[in-house]
Structure 1
């Protein structure tokens, strides 16, 4: 597998299955790549805290802080050998806007929406942006932030997107309509540690296990008292 154009200090990743790009395959791949029906999907990799790109990027439409792995033929195109190729993508527009140059802004939430055709990110103090995966074009969605944090997973059976609140509680939101800031919906059962000595070490993680299902990984430090 090809290497990233630049190592990521604190990477985020989103995998979009092959079915999501099948209808737009001609737009998604470059002239040097050829769509493969056996391709399992596309892996997008991005920096969690990307640096501003105000200098040295004037003539570059893409950025080494946002990349994608796609499957296709090696150059020249007539070759029968196929492999995963990594290529840089255009960055969200705020990274090249002088208005935001004073600080680095963390991506607080990221999710696949639009039936697998768009990537949505919320950026601290900036707002929410959407990238069309067929054209790799970014567009602003709103100056509001998604109400969930970290990676957000869609559950088709419920028609809702699940993630965690700022207090690490499991929550859900409806992201099908983005004309205004989505709100949390429903009440969801939380995990109660069996002992008060269980201390949460880091934020919980959603682990996708396929078919619209996921499990929750939580990391605790426990104290064993000996008598």
Structure 2
């Protein structure tokens, strides 16, 4: 399904008392593409284009603001995740576990049930209509470090509040029960999740990998199993493109844009990268459908001045630019993969930080 918008979350200070908040800006990513692939190829050949067309862009007005909690005893940051294949839903969760759902289509805000335990540093994955949240360094099941926000249809005959949304506590990866000191090697933490994705015929299996290997969770049976004595060749979130039958992400070494057939992997046969492109390194990746992707990179430009929020000894005025680039991956006549870059559009978000959903 094609995405109509990408969601840019920008940290700001709002109002008279400069209350910390995060604003949501919904951007049309299709403005980063030429009307046709042929036009993109022609633009890449023009003089001084550097292979991609750069267009001026203006940050859209914020759709909604999420205010951060002000309690001094609160530890942690606000978490945000997109919900659903269209990414019209945005889940916000504060350090105490208070959860809200913003519906971009109706522009409505809904109070959601709180998870069994607050989350501090987690990965978020959408499987079907559910949102799966797993701490990057998971504890035991008593810690509720792995939970899923599930929607149950009213036809099940069980009545729940919040239109049948509820949290289900799930078993953590088996290694969470092993002795930490015995597993620790060379001073490196083997627990921390380094890459994660969704695989399977119906996209119902969650794959995670640490430094030591890969583990798979079947969302239907609720059972963990060893994916292989190998780690995914990626870093961070890995996205599936059904049109190409491949998974895309950024390599664990060098953070380069790459494609891989995870469906061909087995416990004894690690996944191999099919193609690596040197042109794009260390951005964020969002699939749009039809073999097209939106990649985002952040740049910080400093000039003489003073930036609010910095230390008193830091007199640099820093502007942050989020640059969105449209990328298309196609197959050649012999099945070879080719990447075509379309347009880049920079959005200035001021002296702050941002993330893309």
Normalized against structure 2, the TM-score is what?
A: 0.46
Contact 2:195–2:208 under 8 Å retained in 1: yes
Query: What is the SS of the residue equivalent to 1:167?
Result: coil
Partner residue, 1:72: 152
Match status 1:96 vs 2:186? no
Query: What is the SS of the residue equivalent to 1:176?
Result: helix
Return the offset for 1:113: 0.4
- Measure the CA separation in 2 of the matches of 1:212 and 1:2: 36
Please, which of 192, 205, 226 is the counterpart of residue 284 of structure 2? Answer: 205
Contact 1:154–1:212 under 8 Å retained in 2: no
Q: 1:181 to 1:83 in 2, by over 3 A?
A: same
Query: What is the SS of the residue equivalent to 2:114?
Result: coil
- Measure the CA separation in 2 of the matches of 1:101 and 1:135: 30
- Measure the CA separation in 2 of the matches of 1:7 and 1:212: 36
Query: What is the SS of the residue equivalent to 1:131?
Result: strand
Partner residue, 1:120: 207
- Measure the CA separation in 2 of the matches of 1:80 and 1:89: 19
RMSD: 2.7
Gaps of 5+ in 1: 18-40, 193-202
Match status 1:185 vs 2:274? yes
Higher strand proportion, which one? 2
Return the offset for 1:89: 0.4
How many residues end up aligned between the 2 structures?
182
Contact 2:244–2:291 under 8 Å retained in 1: no
Contact 1:128–1:142 under 8 Å retained in 2: yes
Q: 1:175 to 1:191 in 2, by over 3 A?
A: closer
Please, which of 161, 169, 184 is the counterpart of residue 256 of structure 2? Answer: 169
Contact 1:110–1:119 under 8 Å retained in 2: yes
- Measure the CA separation in 1 of the matches of 2:290 and 2:149: 22
Match status 1:49 vs 2:160? no
Superposition pairs for residues 109-148 of structure 1, below 5 Å? 109-115=195-201, 116-124=203-211, 126-148=212-234
- Measure the CA separation in 2 of the matches of 1:173 and 1:143: 18
Q: 1:224 to 1:79 in 2, by over 3 A?
A: closer
- Measure the CA separation in 2 of the matches of 1:208 and 1:174: 16
- Measure the CA separation in 1 of the matches of 2:265 and 2:280: 30
Q: 1:9 to 1:173 in 2, by over 3 A?
A: same
- Measure the CA separation in 1 of the matches of 2:255 and 2:226: 27
- Measure the CA separation in 2 of the matches of 1:107 and 1:72: 29
* Superimposed CA distance per residue, residues 65-101 of structure 1 (whole angstroms, 9 cap, x where no aligned partner): 1100111268x94548632111110111011123437
Return the offset for 1:167: 1.8
* Superimposed CA distance per residue, residues 112-148 of structure 1 (whole angstroms, 9 cap, x where no aligned partner): 0013121110012x21001111011000122211101
- Measure the CA separation in 1 of the matches of 2:291 and 2:151: 24
Match status 1:151 vs 2:237? yes
- Measure the CA separation in 1 of the matches of 2:225 and 2:119: 24
Q: 1:118 to 1:80 in 2, by over 3 A?
A: closer
- Measure the CA separation in 2 of the matches of 1:148 and 1:221: 26
